Structure 1
Amino acid sequence: MLAGERVVNENVIGMLKRFKIIADKYQNRRKRFGLCVKVR
């Protein structure tokens, strides 16, 4: 029973990490896009 709960928790943590990585990439692209526009 404890092992089953651990698997669920690990999956949730993995999903949160994946979402955070996607969010960070999106923010970085927006910052770079702003810099490119300012340079031109």
Structure 2
Amino acid sequence: MKIFKLFIYLFILFILINIIKSKLWKLKEYYKIRNKRHCGGI
């Protein structure tokens, strides 16, 4: 039972990490677009 609980915990943690990563990636893309508009560069 302990191993099963650990597995569920790791699975939830994995999902949370993926959500955070995708949000950070979207923020990065958003800032890239904003910087392009302002600077006309990279």
TM-score, scaled to structure 2: 0.70
Ranges in structure 2 where 5+ consecutive residues have no aligned partner: none
Unaligned runs of 5+ in 1: 36-40
The runs of 4+ residues in structure 1 deviating greater than 2 Å are none
Structure of higher RCO (CA pairs closer than 8 Å, 6+ residues apart): 2
Structure with greater proportional helix content:
1
Q: Output one character per residue of 1:4-39: Cα deviation in whole Å (capped at 9) or x when no partner.
A: 11000000111111110000000001111228xxxx
* Identity over aligned pairs, percent: 14
Q: CA RMSD for the aligned pairs? A: 1.5
How many residues align? The count is 35
TM value normalised by structure 1: 0.72
